[in-house]
Structure 1
Amino acid sequence: MESKEQSQEQVKERADITEHPNIKKVVSLESFVFMACFAVLFGVLGTKMGAINMLNTMMQTAYQLLMDTVFYIMAIAVLAGALSGLFTEFGVVAIINKILSPLMKPLYDLPGASVVGILATYLSDNPAILTLADDQGFRRYFKRYQLPALTNIGTAFGMGLIITSFMIGITSPTGESFVGPALIGNLGAIVGSIVSVRLMLVFTAKEYGKTEYCEVEGINAIMYTDYRMVRPGSAASRFMSAMLEGGKSGVGMGVAIIPGVVIICTFVMMLTNGPSETGTYTGAAYEGIALLPAIGDKLDFILKPLFGFASSQGVSVPITSLGAAGAAIGLVPKLVKDGMATGNDVAVFTAMCMCWSGYLSTHVAMMDSLGYSKMTGKAIISHTIGGLCAGVAAHWLYVLFSMIG
């Protein structure tokens, strides 16, 4: 009898295991599909470049990206982190919040408190919105259909300060300043964010209606509108603490982007660049099979009027930003140096890198954290369209400002 009960329990446990979403059979279709894709990718690269050259180029490119790009981005992140820490500590962010809050309802159909999320993600990264959304005092301002859109609006401004600072700091071989294009790119990102959020709200309103507020536990959220938290001590000690702690967060962000920049950028560059100047493969850094430009040439009749790219290789930047904004901006200096990107391209890159900022790698986790996993597909669709609109808006705004200037 006891043996039969144990057997039934084992069957039940086995059924529970097989129903677990993160457990798969040892042998499944997924494994064979992955191996096929893996073999095709490295087969194409190896056949075109030669196996030894492919491996040497991969390692050399990864090393150059780490030394020349990652540490530069980290330095920018440290400075941007220190600046954001000071702005938060001494009330600049709070004042901006007060000024911008009345615009949120007509532009985004979101409560004024959501501007805090914009500022938080602009000064840091996409997931910063989740810390706010988890706070009962912040949630109480939102209706249920509005809360999932925080993923879209937060992602649209993720790493904004770092991306903008990085673009401004790029040196143009013609002496062109990229301050204007970077700021125009910010305007493009705003347009993209409005499109993304508004589309998302259409989906969520159909699902949840427009009347029900988010459930909260009655915590007073007055600090989000009338008060702000500061560090203890004198103004001088607060200044030093805010600056150093902000810089420290920049170091953390700089370290966090290393895998994305090194891995994604390496493969994107190998798919973007061609062989050496002699037309042969030598195993040097930044060589590749020029696949993405070939695709870009085929789509040039669409890309040119929409984004105005100076070169078909420019398409590699927004494609990379789908997975990692840090990796995407790492591609820009070389494009500018080689004359393949101009001020218009920088404006478009800024807008799309900000608006997309690696959303394919964060949207699923963010929607799950908010408790709206079933709306993830809608969020991704909305944000894909929003990012494209951001690039188009940046291009035509750049054309308009160039005509006026």
Structure 2
Amino acid sequence: MQQRAEIKNIKSINTGKRKVKSIGIETFVFIAIILAGFMYIANIMGAGIMFKVIMNTAHDLLLNTVFLIMAMAVLAGALSALLSEFGVISLLNKIFAIFMKPLYGLPGASIAGAITTYLSDNPAIISFSKDKSFTKYFKNYQIPALCNLGTSFGMGLIVTTFMISQGEEYVLPAIIGNIGAIIGSVVSVRIMLYFTKKFYNYDESKSSKTKDTEIVEEYREIRDGNLFQRVLDAMLEGGKSGVELGLAIVPGVLIVCTLVMILTFGPSIDPNTGKEIYTGAAYEGIALLPIIGEKLRFILEPLFGFTSAEAIAFPITSLGAVGAAMSLVPQFIADSVITPNDIAVFTAMGMCWSGYLSTHVGMMDALNARGLTSKAIISHTIGGICAGMSAHFIFMILV
């Protein structure tokens, strides 16, 4: 009996799984939830249309999102390897350590990841995390927090320039939005580090800078060969890690993002009649998240200064895809339903969240920290809210 009890509670080192009874209460709860979810969606758009939408959305995500992320990861991986090979990462670590350590609790080298994601998208920072010349500056509990840091700045340049392009009166709000996103990123990373320290049983009092650590920070390894060979090897090896990353995030992006898209967007519009209609096209959905946002309007308006219910759609949509959220802005401006304050909040929350619900799972999986995914999402949800609030209050003070 004792042996059987021991077997029941054994955790596999290789799989991270444990043994339980074949059929339990969670089996029936799971079946009930799955059936209720599918029946709810099928009742709105029809069972046949529902499965068609799921397949078309997943297919489109694979072709237009995953491969795009893979392409960015390959380029970012090559850039990361070059920066490490020629000592740029080491230089950044020394220069920015004075800022990054007190603000984020991360080494100065992490600024390279933040800059890269600002210029591209969230997953770009994962390529850095696969580079040993980069991760040597990090303790084990700090590496999962790179997911939150990178996501906080994902598509930052695109979001900022897009908001500025809407008119001169939106230049200052966009800049304020960037400041709000930085504040949100600090909150998100700090909360995440609290969870990761507990997860890795990190004891600050027992951690001290050893002689080996100082040697690692003072010296770096370089590849053999002449300058041309080193450049070529660094780019190819870094790009190869980007391909591996692109493959690793396929399940997370397709499964989670498909669900988020269905809950975020509504039916298509018939061009002939102008009525809403379900055709089975990719990204059609039941628009449940915007409905929830409308119910929470009494909370969101005082926090972010929104003057219309429609404005809530931007941060809600940013949960799944900030690119889709940006497409709402021109119409909002044309309908005069948003103000410059809203643009500041949109920039902060769009940049800080940048579709994290659809990327966090894949990113945490690529970081080998799947067990911390829920903690990363909770941390970043709070960080994005703080980003929007900060932008709103800063705007009120300055304007």
Q: What is the TM-score of this pair, normalised by structure 1?
A: 0.70
Q: CA deviation at 1:208?
A: 8.2
Distance in 2, Cα, partners of 1:34 & 1:351: 33
SS of alignment partner, residue 292 of structure 1: helix
Partner of 1:85: 81
Q: Any idea what the Cα deviations from partners look like across 1:38-65, whole Å, max 9, x if unmatched? A: 1111010101111111111111222222
Supply the AA of the counterpart residue of 1:40: A
1:229 pairs with 2:221: yes
Partner of 1:57: 53
Partner of 1:253: 245
Cα distance, 1:232–1:335 mapped onto 2, change above 3 Å: farther
Question: Which 5+ residue runs of structure 1 have no aligned equivalent?
Answer: 1-10, 321-327
Partner of 1:115: 108
Q: Any idea what the Cα deviations from partners look like across 1:152-208, whole Å, max 9, x if unmatched? A: 7433223677644665797999699x9999987665454234334555778979x98
Distance in 2, Cα, partners of 1:44 & 1:53: 13
1:287 pairs with 2:284: yes
SS of alignment partner, residue 99 of structure 1: helix
Instruction: Choose the corresponding residue for 2:207, options 191, 209, 213.
Output: 213
Q: CA deviation at 1:16?
A: 1.1
**Count of residue correspondences:** 366
Partner of 2:7: 17
Partner of 1:271: 263
Cα distance, 1:84–1:219 mapped onto 2, change above 3 Å: same
Q: Any idea what the Cα deviations from partners look like across 1:107-148, whole Å, max 9, x if unmatched? A: 34x4xx72235546875546966987998x857xx8xxxx75
Supply the AA of the counterpart residue of 1:20: I
Could you tell me whether the CA contact under 8 Å between 1:152 and 1:383 is conserved in 2? no
Distance in 2, Cα, partners of 1:238 & 1:180: 43
RMSD: 4.6
Could you tell me whether the CA contact under 8 Å between 1:17 and 1:23 is conserved in 2? yes
Q: CA deviation at 1:35?
A: 1.0
Could you tell me whether the CA contact under 8 Å between 1:57 and 1:286 is conserved in 2? yes
Could you tell me whether the CA contact under 8 Å between 1:77 and 1:250 is conserved in 2? yes
Instruction: Choose the corresponding residue for 1:389, options 379, 386, 389.
Output: 386
Q: What is the TM-score of this pair, normalised by structure 2?
A: 0.70
Could you tell me whether the CA contact under 8 Å between 2:75 and 2:242 is conserved in 1? yes
Cα distance, 1:380–1:349 mapped onto 2, change above 3 Å: closer
Q: CA deviation at 1:392?
A: 3.2
Q: CA deviation at 1:94?
A: 1.8
Partner of 2:14: none
Distance in 1, Cα, partners of 2:247 & 2:398: 38
Cα distance, 1:308–1:60 mapped onto 2, change above 3 Å: farther
Cα distance, 1:401–1:382 mapped onto 2, change above 3 Å: same
SS of alignment partner, residue 276 of structure 2: coil
SS of alignment partner, residue 277 of structure 2: coil
Cα distance, 1:338–1:219 mapped onto 2, change above 3 Å: farther
Could you tell me whether the CA contact under 8 Å between 1:172 and 1:337 is conserved in 2? no
Could you tell me whether the CA contact under 8 Å between 2:265 and 2:286 is conserved in 1? yes
Cα distance, 1:173–1:385 mapped onto 2, change above 3 Å: closer
Q: CA deviation at 1:93?
A: 2.0
Distance in 2, Cα, partners of 1:159 & 1:230: 30
1:100 pairs with 2:96: yes
Q: CA deviation at 1:73?
A: 2.8
Partner of 2:15: none
Q: Any idea what the Cα deviations from partners look like across 1:194-229, whole Å, max 9, x if unmatched? A: 334555778979x98864326x9x661234432222
Q: CA deviation at 1:261?
A: 2.6
Instruction: Choose the corresponding residue for 1:299, options 293, 296, 299.
Output: 296
Supply the AA of the counterpart residue of 1:14: R
SS of alignment partner, residue 206 of structure 2: coil
Q: CA deviation at 1:274?
A: 1.7
Cα distance, 1:359–1:263 mapped onto 2, change above 3 Å: closer
Distance in 1, Cα, partners of 2:288 & 2:277: 16
Could you tell me whether the CA contact under 8 Å between 2:78 and 2:236 is conserved in 1? yes
Distance in 2, Cα, partners of 1:220 & 1:182: 44
Cα distance, 1:174–1:197 mapped onto 2, change above 3 Å: closer
Distance in 2, Cα, partners of 1:296 & 1:222: 50
SS of alignment partner, residue 221 of structure 1: helix
Q: Any idea what the Cα deviations from partners look like across 1:21-41, whole Å, max 9, x if unmatched? A: 521211112111111111111
Q: CA deviation at 1:377?
A: 9.0
Cα distance, 1:312–1:121 mapped onto 2, change above 3 Å: closer
Supply the AA of the counterpart residue of 2:206: E
Distance in 1, Cα, partners of 2:164 & 2:247: 27
